[in-house]
Structure 1
Amino acid sequence: MTAATRTGVTWRARLFRRPSPGQVVTVVLLLVLGGLWIYPFAWLVSASLKSSPEIFGRGLDLLPEQPVWENYARAWTEVGFATYFVNTLVITVGTVLLVVVRSALAGYVLGRYDFAGKKLLIGVFLVTFFLPEGYTIIPITQLTDQLSLLNTHAGVILGLGAGGQIASTLLYAGYFRRLPKELEETARLDGAGHFTIFFRVMLPLAWPITATVVILTFLYAWNVYLLPLVFTLSEPGLRTLAVGMTVFVGERGTDWSGMAAAAVISLIPVIAVFVVLQRKFVDSIAGAVKQ
């Protein structure tokens, strides 16, 4: 029997061998937990295809009697979620770009350079990390109003992305600190300046951290409610998807089926971004654990 034949027999034996009781119990538990984890999303999709009375009349049943695709059409056109979607996309992309550039620059300085007051600055960052959003919304609103940006996309982007962004900054600082100094020294010998070294050498190497920051910032900016609500009170046309959900709540009742359809619409970009960047996200987390 050749080595290749023995290897094939071994793999077939492992593949078709009878599982142990412990393995069966583990698989069953994982399937149950997976079902419990995915059920709320499945129920949301199911509710988006039902009428409002059917949502409560059918209980936990996931299969609608007759799919009501008009819920999506109503949410997208009649309620104005097409406009809210564009607003959210513009604000989220702008916030992500602002946070990545700011956090990467600040993290590069903190991770690669020593200067007076560095530890104190990091300490201040850590203290502000625990401040709830409600404590800072008033000064942010006043400052944005003084800049005449209160009811604009730019105002919301600055309000969301121009804060401390402590977690993102420290992620970049920790990553840049571990990179060898020879990279910068070689670039300087080639005549590169500080910004050239950062944007053409250091930032591309930090792609796993950038993917993590993009995912976390995208989730935050896409789903945030309080600041866009305050900034667009007098401009309903600038509402985001999260704020637009309140349209389905009226004085005489709530359009639950329309709200479910709108929620599904708002979840699609989030899932798409995570699927595209999940590998880099996992790699960055794994690298942090190894360190």
Structure 2
Amino acid sequence: MSVVAPAATATTDSPVLAQPKGPRRSTGQKPVGGVGASILLWGYAAIALVPLLLMVVSSFRTNADLITDPLGLPSPVSVESYREAWTTGSFATYFGNSLLVTVGAVALSTVVSTMAAYALARVHSRAFRALESLFLSGLMLPIHLAILPIFYLFDGLGLIDSRFGLALMYGASGVPFSIFVLTTFFRQLPAELEEAAALDGASPWQTFWRIMVPLVRPALATVAVFRFVPIWNDFLFPLVLLRKEEKYTLPVGLTTFFGENATNYSAVFAGLVITTIPLIVLFLVATKQIVAGLTAGMSK
């Protein structure tokens, strides 16, 4: 009697091929807030550009044309106002003073704030938390409210009419904001980077300058730009703390074109254009770093 073995059943271990899908339709990225928000933003940008365009157009007109027809077009185009502002109006000297004070203040504030922010972000103690709160409390008081104490302090230190003293004051006033921004960035960096650098034989100073500082470059650019603009445009402190005309900055130097009986409007507009050009160049050069600094941590 023979036994018949049952037929082997087929296994279902073989993978099942997925059915091909149709081509995906590429959807364009929709603007945030919809079309209405985009129209409003473009409209606001156009309105904001009108004063700038009017300033540039007026700088190529003569003073007589501006008095008779303030909103007219330059006919013919004249660059005499720029020559007068740069040479006769001593704008070359004012430009150098503004560059010296602003760059010095931003560099001083950024270097000091970077080192302080790194220490505050890495050392966990009550004393350092209290010190961080003390620094951040400087954001609560506008620096212009302290103009009288600063004047008496500078008078006692012999820093009145000193561009170096003015740069020191601007640098100190920018420390709270810079620490506030940079501390947040340093805290986002993993501690494993410092441990790996220590295993490779790097000192804490080398770890800070060669590893940690390059990683927060967008934050440094953001801090530098946000400090450069208000210092470059400030009028009150140079007016109060500087005495000699050859030490004036650009905003104060513009007042030399306003006389008691007459005002050279074409030279004023040319001076405004000269004052605005460095800010435009700065934003064009640092736009990528600024956007990276402002949007860091917003996406996973």
Question: TM-score per shorter chain, which class?
Answer: 0.7 to 0.9
Query: Residue 281 and residue 59 in structure 1: after superposition, are their counterparts in 2 closer, same or farther (change >3 A)?
Result: same
How far residue 129 of structure 1 moved from its aligned partner, in angstroms, is 1.1
- Of the candidates 127, 131, 141, which is equivalent to residue 117 of structure 1? 127
Structure 1 residue 191 displacement after superposition: 2.9
The aligned runs of 1:229-268 (5 Å cut-off) are 229-233=239-243, 235-268=244-277
Question: Percent identity over the alignment?
Answer: 36
Asked if the contact 1:49–1:71 (Cα under 8 Å) also holds between the matched residues in 2, the reply is yes
Question: Is it true that 1:186 corresponds to 2:196 in the alignment?
Answer: yes
Aligned residue for 1:272, secondary structure, equals helix
- What are the residue-to-residue correspondences of 1:30-179 with 2, within 5 Å? 31-61=42-72, 63-163=73-173, 165-179=175-189
C-alpha deviation, 1:31, in angstroms: 5.0
Evaluate the alpha carbon distance shift between residue 26 and residue 205 of structure 1 in structure 2; reply closer, same or farther with a 3 A threshold. Answer: closer
Partner in structure 2 of residue 275 of structure 1: 284
TM superposition shift of 1:288: 4.4
| Larger mean Cα displacement after TM superposition, 209-218 or 132-141 | 132-141
Paired with 1:59 and 1:31, the residues of 2 have a C-alpha distance of: 27
Change (3 A) 1:26 1:101: closer
Structure 1 residues 106 and 227, CA, compared in 2 at 3 Å: closer, same or farther? same
Specify which of 226, 235, 244 is matched with residue 225 of structure 1. Answer: 235
TM score, norm. by length of structure 1: 0.85
* Aligned CA distance change for structure 1 residues 141 and 194 (closer, same or farther; 3 Å): farther
Q: Which residue of 1 aligns with 2:295?
A: 286
Residues 38-94 of structure 1: CA deviation (Å, up to 9, x unaligned): 111000001111223433543444x21222210000100001100000111111111
Q: Mean Cα displacement is larger for which, 236-245 or 155-164?
A: 155-164
Classify 1:26/1:208 alpha carbon distance in 2 versus 1 (closer, same or farther; 3 Å): closer
Larger Rg: 2
The letter for the 2-side match of 1:106 is A
Given the two structures, how large is their TM-score scaled by the length of structure 2?
Answer: 0.82
Unaligned runs of 5+ in 1: 1-5, 15-21
Task: Please give the alpha-carbon distance, in whole angstroms, between the structure 2 residues aligned to 1:215 and 1:168.
Answer: 11
How far apart, in 2, do the equivalents of 1:289 and 1:38 lie? 29
Higher helix fraction: Structure 1 or Structure 2? 1
- Once the two structures are superposed, what CA deviation does each residue of 1:252-281 show, in whole Å capped at 9, x if it has no partner? 132221111000001111111110000010
Unaligned runs of 5+ in 2: 1-22, 29-33
Contact kept? 2:254, 2:268, Cα under 8 Å: yes
Amino acid of the residue matched to residue 227 of structure 2? T
Aligned length: 272
Change (3 A) 1:134 1:163: closer
